[in-house]
Amino acid sequence: MTRDDNIAAATRPQTWDMLVIGGGASGLGTAVEAATRGYSVLLLESHDYAKGTSSRSTKLVHGGVRYLAQGNVSLVREALHERGLLKRNAPHLVRDLGFVIAAYKWWSAPFYGIGLKMYDLLAGKLNLQNSRYISKTEALKRAPTLKKDGLGGGILYFDGQFDDSRLAITLLRTLEDHGGVAVNHAPVTGLLMDGGKVVGAHWRDDETGQTHEARARVVVNATGVFVDDLRRMEDPAVKPMLSPSQGVHVVVDRHFLPGDSALMVPRTDDGRVLFAVPWHDHVVIGTTDTPVPDVSWEPRALPEEVDFILKTAAQYLDPAPGRADVRSVYAGLRPLVKAAEGTDTKALSRDHVIRISAGGMLTLTGGKWTTYRRMGADAVTRAAELVGLPARMSLTEGLSLHGATHDDLPEPWKVYGTDAERIKALPGASVRLHPELPYMEAEVRWAAQQEQARTVEDVLSRRTRALLLNARASADAAPRVAAILAEELGRDEAWQDAQVKAYRELAAGYMLPGGVVSADAVGREKMETRPA
């Protein structure tokens, strides 16, 4: 469905069973869950699907080794179960990935080996592959750039890897396949109230400026780190739920971690876990955990966060990447539910939380991508009970997501699954957007025609991952993307110029200092903070 089709459906007079506000992991998971149970559902997203935290993860579908160390066995068991389901339901997006824990101290291998055997056991019949001890020779075969001095072998364990924003778009297409309706660039501007109850929302189409209202039996607030903004629309005096924290990643070329495995550092100098993960022929290294007082749509990495990541990587890799080697740096905000005062954010649980307001609005927050399906199932069950909708079984444990296939397609086609052949039939299927990027012009057309891409940023940041793989190259590709989008969407040259300027300003914020694209693209992008 096109966005225009969805706008038409969203503005028909009706009362939806569920109105979901927010188009990230939790919102899309909730909407798919509702639609597959047969409830009528409308999803509104203020910017673009996965614009916020949901496109800025470490790209792992995992149980959470760190949570096991914290003793949160139930969370790890649940996440490992969901990891197995997601690999089964979206094999075109999720794959097994081996992780090497390098042992430079005599006790490291047995200590972490015991914990990871428990990790395997908790996964049960959905375990990917069993963890095992490996020799120095095998460790270097799997991760050839590991420092050799003092290396005594290590542990190899397995988790899942995925593409986060491509999963979001796959969930969008799955939602549409099952009769749900979703609109992006459609911010909620206020809640509809009736007798003290939340019965819907006012929203605006940002492309036309037209305002609309959507009525629903129950409203689900799934706006991630912005849930408190929406809660304040109902009650300006409500106490905040979240203690947000920032996680930063840097992206470098693949030669810094060749081989077929990722690297996991189980305890950094600040007590966190750090990963170096092969992804789309690059390497993602992260993450940090920095409490932040405010939330924004475009959080920026602090210099000390980048320095910490590179310093930690240099303790294990030879050669190690330096600042000049960073192709892109990105930051995401975690919606951590508030704990007792003084609690360190890295110690807060990633469990999801559901709260019901006095007006009956359901807020879903916390959690992580791996457990998106369980979060959605819990939210829909609770929402249906809340307003007396007929009880219906969840079907998503065995639901193949849109495009699911076991065919081993090459880059960049694999993430599209069964849609790949249709994209290859479009003009520009063999024309690269940029020599340093794997993406083709046909993907831009497909994104506009089938995936509701409306801006250059939508295409280069989330339909493709160009912004994260190589921010400078993506900025160079922006004019061609704008031209193709203008052709598909019927836009003029002034629109193209404005899109390129805005995108290059955005991309400058993903480069380390000195990575300026053009004279008018200096500094950080200032974006209005909106709740959905």
Shared domain for 468 and 326, answered yes or no, is no
Between the alpha carbon of residue 454 and those of residues 385, 444, 485, 487, 495, the distances in Å are 37, 10, 8, 12, 11
Shared domain for 152 and 213, answered yes or no, is no
Shared domain for 228 and 248, answered yes or no, is no
> pTM above the 0.85 mark?
yes
pLDDT band at 528 (very low <50, low <70, confident <90, very high): very low
pLDDT of residue 350: 57
Q: Extract the tokens encoding 362.
A: 């359901």
Shared domain for 249 and 155, answered yes or no, is yes
pLDDT of residue 342: 38
User: pLDDT per residue over 31-81, tens digit each?
Assistant: 999 999 999 999 999 999 999 999 999 999 999 887 877 778 888 999 999
Among 114, 123, 24, 132, smallest CA distance to 64 is for 123
Three-state DSSP at 371 gives helix
Q: Which of 22-26, 64-68, 457-461, 474-478 has the lowest mean pLDDT?
A: 64-68
Q: Extract the tokens encoding 270.
A: 């600040």
Instruction: Please check the confidence at residue 513 and state whether its pLDDT lies above 80.
Output: no
Position 105 in a domain: yes
Shared domain for 217 and 301, answered yes or no, is no
Shared domain for 252 and 321, answered yes or no, is yes
Shared domain for 49 and 151, answered yes or no, is no
Three-state DSSP at 387 gives helix
Domain CATH for 442: 1.10.8.870
Contact 376, 401 (CB under 8 A): no
User: pLDDT per residue over 381-432, tens digit each?
Assistant: 999 999 999 999 999 999 999 999 999 999 999 999 999 999 999 999 999 9
Number of domains in the chain: 3
Domain CATH for 39: 3.50.50.60
Q: In terms of DSSP bridges, do strands 197-204 and 188-194 run parallel, antiparallel, or are they unpaired?
A: antiparallel
Boundaries of domain holding 369: 3-53+165-240+347-398
Shared domain for 247 and 336, answered yes or no, is yes
- The amino acid that residue 156 corresponds to is L
